[in-house]
Homo-oligomer: A and B are copies of this chain.
Amino acid sequence: MIVTTVHIWVKEEHVDAFIKASIENHNNSILESGNMRFDILQHHDDPTQFTFYEAYETEAAAAAHKKTTHYLLWRATVADWMAQARKGVKHHVLAPKELRKW
């Protein structure tokens, strides 16, 4: 299992459009083979910051996400809305270990 947290900074005037595009990306990503979660979160203290929580069964499934049409569309759509470069952090899962709990 692999979980990537992606930290995203959005220009204030594009926050609403970013949310719309990201929910569309969520709706498609959760249908991918090997996807376990794809949560879209907004920071409580700063609505221009977001965290994506992307959990996949394998490295291969996580890598395949970046070749999907919906990811490439999302990436192109939001490109000019970023206030700074996104930052992804890869993680091993220590708990829960059972696939059915994801």
Contact = CB atoms under 8 A, between A and B. Distances in A.
Question: Main SS of chain A's interface residues?
Answer: strand
A44 interface: yes
A42 B95 contact: no
Interface stretch (A63-71, A73-81, A86-94): A86-94
A41 B22 CA distance: 24
A57 interface: no
B43 A94 contact: no
With most chain B CB atoms within 10 A of its CB, the pick from A23, A41, A45, A96 is A41
Given A5-B51, A51-B5, A23 B89 contact: no
A19 interface: yes
